[in-house]
Structure 1
Amino acid sequence: MSENRQNSTADWDDDDLPEWTDDQFDRAEFRIGGKLIRPADGTLTKPGRPKSDNPKQQVTLRLDSAVLEGFRATGPGWQSRINAELRKALKLDG
């Protein structure tokens, strides 16, 4: 069952908000009358991750359950390890 919560907006006012920097304004989405003039670029705290020179592509791949379970059992980063093993098999490294 959901808990009934009081509106907590009365505990602060606009004076508590930090001032935006020029850099944050430069990256923020800009609209006039609901019309998008410029989309946001990155986030309000930093510009975002740089674009990769060799981006990976999302694919659908069917693997044996034993193979999948084996890689997942190695912990976080198992998808990157599958990629590394495929690169080795194709002699793409080195």
Structure 2
Amino acid sequence: MKKVEHTLETLPPLTKAQEDNLKRLAAMPDDEIDHDDMPALTDTQLAEMQRGRLYRPVKTQITARVDADVLAWLKSQGKGYQSRMNAILRDAMLGSK
């Protein structure tokens, strides 16, 4: 079997039948959708699941003013100071909920 890979840009358009099927499914209540053809996950698979592992938030470029000593400290940790800054801000954001 030949492996086929697509990006969002190279996906073929949906057929009319596929569009109709998606609309029909979207209109159904979740408890009425037949999942019988979907194999059940094993206990091992469930234990190894990681939520959002492949999720990558959209990045927005900004200009921000930070204290010189804060920037020096971030840069002193090595490459990736902007990613570290983002991680610190994310931790603060999640901790404030």
TM-score bracket for this pair, using the shorter chain length? 0.3 to 0.5
Q: TM-score, normalised by structure 2?
A: 0.39
Higher strand share: 1
With normalisation by structure 1, the TM-score equals: 0.40
Greater share of helix? 2
Q: Is the radius of gyration larger for structure 1 or structure 2?
A: 1
Task: Between the two structures, name the one with larger relative contact order (CA 8 Å, sep ≥ 6).
Answer: 1
